[in-house]
Amino acid sequence: MMSDNHRLPIIHLDLDAFFASVEQRDNPIHQGKPLIVGGISDGGRGNLQRGVVCAASYEARKYGIYAGMPIWEAHQKCPKGVFLPARLNKYIKESRKFFQICSDYTPLIEPLGLDELFLDISGCEALFGSSEIIAKKIKERVNQELGLKVSAGIAQNKLLAKIATNLGKPDGFFTLYPEDVPKILYPLPLSSLWGIGKKTEERLKKSGIYLIGQLAQIPEPVLENLLGKNGKRLKLLAQGLDNSSVTIPTSKKSISKETTFSANITERNILIKELLKLSQEVGYYARKEGYQGRTVTLKLRFHNFTTLNKSITLENPTHIDENIFKIALKLLDKIKIKKGGVRLLGIKLSNLTCSNQLIQLNLLNNKENKWVQLTYTLDRLREKYGFTAITRATLLEQEKIED
């Protein structure tokens, strides 16, 4: 199956009973015992009566104790359990070490809390081997270096990788191959689907739908009747289809460029040329800083200072000039240019995510690839000769961009 591995670039990792495992590791006397982390100390003898369970060791889970349960209830279920207050700072330190180990294999890491993350190893196989080899290596290192257990799921997308992890827990290692998706996914309860809310689940159950397989087979119109717009998305998820990418969290909100004209512009062609230039600038800085955005906003300020913002949100993020330009042009087409003309024109790319260029190249289809290659070639020239030296204004003239 090794040759198939390029189809399975996503690894999901989840530390087993994280907080509780850190406590058991640091206090070997608690190993093998039901241990519950959480609650607020009363300052006396560590009696924890208030608050909720933050984490329960696997031994405690056998008593029916789970995270979120009130501490008093956990006490009732397991009076002899070890109850400890949470040491959040300690857990944050351990979490950082865990993330550090993972980042030795790919920069594309999406955290889901302190103890869970996705890795996308596309393009890293040549260096470190298949996703299975990388996941095994990380498991080994987490065990040796941190003294903790981590479960791993490997699949073609995030949804399936997370399901795979849960199927193997604890200390799990599960590869979910595309051809096995119906066999493995369909018998699972709806709650196994990441992204299905409690309300939606209730509504589906009322209609007699309990399993993922049932949801996957409902005709789309029926589902849309039942759940509205969300129906289509959930049907795709139930079929194991998820095209969301592994996304590095980013603090940057948007990238924008604007031009104030020295004289107000009434001629649409001049605005289009300016849009091309602005798209190139926004795209260039997005690529340079490693961002992609899903929302393109066109900003127009008229002679009388009234300002118009119009935007379109794409399904997939982009940082390619041509894509940004096409959207901006589409937005401009919808706007009637006032007689007094335009004094300011701007483009903003927002809804940003960080992304690895290599992966982006892999994902793009052939038609788009031409633009991608051209874009990167232009970037290299710009690095050499400066931004203003290279624009695609001349290409614009040859290309017949109409209405």
Nearer to Mg ion, 91 or 325 (CB): 91
Beta strand 10-15 with 150-155 is antiparallel
DSSP annotation string for 44-72? SSS-EEEEEEEEE-HHHHTTT--TTSBHH
Nearer to Mg ion, 91 or 177 (CB): 91
SS3 155: strand
Nearer to Mg ion, 15 or 74 (CB): 15
Is 116 labeled as catalytic in the residue annotation?
yes
- Kindly state the smallest distance separating residue 18's Cβ from Mg ion, in Å: 5
Rounded to whole angstroms, the Cα distance separating 338 from 366 reads 40
266 with 337: CB under 8 angstroms? Answer: yes
Q: Which stretch binds Mg ion (CB under 5 A): 54-62, 95-103, 111-119, 373-381?
A: 111-119
- Kindly state the smallest distance separating residue 114's Cβ from Mg ion, in Å: 9
Nearer to Mg ion, 22 or 71 (CB): 22
- Kindly state the smallest distance separating residue 20's Cβ from Mg ion, in Å: 10
Cα separation values, 35 from 27, 31, 55, 93, 115, Å: 11, 9, 8, 21, 18
- Kindly state the smallest distance separating residue 113's Cβ from Mg ion, in Å: 8
Cα angle 20-170-236, degrees, rounded to a multiple of 5: 115
> For 267, phi and psi rounded to 5 degrees?
-85, 125
**Residue from 14, 110, 242, 322 that binds Mg ion (CB under 5 A)?**
14
53 with 4: CB under 8 angstroms? Answer: no
CA neighbours closer than 13 Å in the CB half-sphere of residue 365: 2
Nearer to Mg ion, 14 or 281 (CB): 14
15 with 149: CB under 8 angstroms? Answer: yes
Closest CA to 157 of 342, 11, 364, 57: 11
Rounded to whole angstroms, the Cα distance separating 342 from 262 reads 10
Residue with the closest Cβ to Mg ion?
115
Distance in Å from the first CA to the final CA of the chain:
51
Q: Which stretch binds Mg ion (CB under 5 A): 15-23, 128-136, 213-221, 365-373?
A: 15-23
Nearer to Mg ion, 15 or 163 (CB): 15
**Residue from 115, 120, 274, 379 that binds Mg ion (CB under 5 A)?**
115
| Total of chain residues touching Mg ion, rule CB under 5 A | 4
Report 18-57 residues binding Mg ion (CB under 5 A): 18
Closest CA to 322 of 352, 354, 287, 355: 287
- Kindly state the smallest distance separating residue 14's Cβ from Mg ion, in Å: 4
- Kindly state the smallest distance separating residue 116's Cβ from Mg ion, in Å: 6
* Active-site residue identified among 23, 59, 94, 116: 116
- Kindly state the smallest distance separating residue 249's Cβ from Mg ion, in Å: 19
Beta strand 254-265 with 342-354 is antiparallel
Nearer to Mg ion, 67 or 248 (CB): 67
Q: Which stretch binds Mg ion (CB under 5 A): 11-19, 76-84, 96-104, 273-281?
A: 11-19
Q: Which stretch binds Mg ion (CB under 5 A): 34-42, 113-121, 235-243, 280-288?
A: 113-121
Q: Which stretch binds Mg ion (CB under 5 A): 114-122, 136-144, 231-239, 304-312?
A: 114-122
255 with 295: CB under 8 angstroms? Answer: no
Interacting residue ranges for Mg ion, rule: CB under 5 A: 14-15, 18, 115
The catalytic site residues sit at 116
